[in-house]
Amino acid sequence: MLGLESYRLVADMNRLLALLFHQGVLDEQFLQLQQLQDESSPNFVSEVVNIYFNESEKLLRNLRTLLMDREQWEYKRVGVHLNQLIGSSSSIGANRIRNVCVALRAASEQNNRLGCLRALDVLEHEYCYLKNKLHEFFHIEQQRVLAAGIRYPNPMQQQQQ
């Protein structure tokens, strides 16, 4: 018999996800990832999201470096990094990040350096928000798995003994 704790944690996870969907932070692709998770790959979503965080942090650092360089405007390299970030964000359902990347790319194509820097600030903020929320989500999921592993004694079985 599962404890109430497990149900409470599931409710917390659902509430957090609902919030992120409502805010447009995540889209349906995140649900698709969850559907790919099964017994043979029980940590698929968290593993994919960790790959995303590792890759994205490198890309964001590179973008900051490229855009802070006043001497040389390497808009092509900015475009390359942004295309990667757009693709990976689409793959995990990071909808708001994807949209900000599209706006940043438009500013880059217009050689609007100030617009790019502003958009990059927003992008970094969105990334931090998503990372914090998904870490919270996976932390609750870990607690749920642990709670579900605790089996409460069945009162009927205890009476028979």
| Chain center to CA of 16 | 12
* Closest separation in Å from C-beta 160 to other proteins: 43
Nearer to other proteins, 11 or 36 (CB): 36
* Closest separation in Å from C-beta 38 to other proteins: 8
Tokens encoding 73: 């405007």
* Closest separation in Å from C-beta 74 to other proteins: 15
Binding of other proteins by 150 (CB under 8 A): no
**Among 8, 12, 16, 29, interactor with other proteins by CB under 8 A:** 29
Taking the C-alpha atoms of residue 15 and residue 137, their distance in angstroms, rounded to an integer, is 10
Taking the C-alpha atoms of residue 22 and residue 30, their distance in angstroms, rounded to an integer, is 13
Binding of other proteins by 43 (CB under 8 A): no
- Which strand (E) or helix (H) includes residue 57? helix 44-68
Nearer to other proteins, 2 or 138 (CB): 138
Tokens encoding 114: 């100030």
Residues 6+ apart with CB under 8 A from 106: none
Give the interface with other proteins as residue ranges (CB under 8 A): 29, 32-33, 35-36, 41, 44, 48, 51-52, 55, 80, 83-84, 86-88, 90-92
